[in-house]
Amino acid sequence: MNPINIQKMAIAFGLLAFGFLAIGSVLMGSRVVTGAIRGGLGALIFGGLIWGFANLFLQKDENDLVQDIHTDANDHDKGNQLDQTA
């Protein structure tokens, strides 16, 4: 996945957490400043978690190459060392 998309996903989760925590806190009776602080901390925590896990799990490896398997029927070395004992 593109690093820009990972950052956009982290920002989206952070804004969602901010809105949910800030509005929910104010609706449940806390002051606006307290709700904004909770929302900001929630945005940092959840956005950071998504950013970290997305970088860890969704980024493509640089050495992610598919190796061709040699499937030649006329391979002379095929089964050459099967009769050797340890």
* Nearest-10 Cα torsion for 25, 28, 32, 38: -20
Higher-pLDDT residue of 60 and 3 is 3
| pLDDT tens digits, 47-63 | 999 999 998 888 776 66
Judge whether residue 3 has pLDDT over 90.
no
Amino acid at residue number 67 = Q
CA-based R_g, the chain, Å: 26
More reliable by pLDDT, 74 or 34: 34
Task: Give the pLDDT confidence of 9-28 residue by residue, as tens digits.
Answer: 999 999 999 999 999 999 99
